Amino acid sequence: MCIGVAPPNKAPWPHPLIAREGWPFLAGAFVLALLATLYSGPVTTALGWIVCLFVLQFFRDPARPAPAGEGLVLSPADGRIVAVEETDDPWLNRRALKISVFMNVFNVHSNRAPVDGEVKGCWYNPGKFINADLAKASTENERNAVWFRTRAGQDVTSVQVAGLIARRILCYAKDGDPFNRGQRYGFIRFGSRVDVYLPTTAQPRVTLGDKVKASADILAQL
């Protein structure tokens, strides 16, 4: 099961410059900052506008051109690589190469399809909200998995994982949906990670500690 009600954009761009998931939060932060400006002191006013700017930067959703090439797996999220390892893919019951991207609160949190292909399955699991930087977050936290099958028949699982502050995973993919790599399929609010499970024959193009951007950077070659 995927959480969400809005359909995905059908092309990598255009997106709104500010993600639609953030509009209510931005409106609320703006109103509070404006009220503080009109009726409160300088300290409260400054704090109000700082919060408003934080909400604005958190929900930004910039255009990202997707690199051209066969068999490329693009990063589904902005952040830092915290895992590149062979492990079990619990969603497809196979051995897989797992590459994990950790997003802090200053990263863009829009999630995008890592490959061209069709959605073959989608699963939601409730769970905890421990620090998403920890390895056990992949198996203990709230998470939502999307199984993509590429046009060449390769299986890729992209898993949105909630974090310590993240309390809402949004996924707009449904079984049978076609996706282009770089196309937006979900959003996670306030700090989290995305795990990508690939065939063990995939060649990683990143290492631990690398910083990546969704759609723009390559994680692996199938």
pLDDT digits (tens, 9 = 90+) for 103-131: 888 888 889 999 999 999 999 888 666 65
Four-residue CA torsion sign, 88, 94, 95, 99: negative
Q: Are 188 and 159 in contact (CB under 8 A)?
A: no
The set of catalytic residues is: 192
SS3 content of the chain, % helix, strand, coil (to 5): 20, 35, 45
CATH of 72-221, one of 3.40.980.10, 3.40.640.10, 2.70.70.10, 1.10.760.10: 2.70.70.10
Determine the distance from the C-alpha atom of residue 68 to the mean position of all C-alpha atoms in its chain, rounded to a whole number: 21
Average pLDDT, the chain: 84
Query: For position 1, what pLDDT does the model report?
Result: 42
Tens digits of residue pLDDT in 155-203:
999 999 886 665 678 888 999 999 999 898 988 876 688 999 999 999 9
Give the whole-angstrom CA distance, residue 23 versus residue 165.
19
pLDDT greater than 80 at residue 91: yes
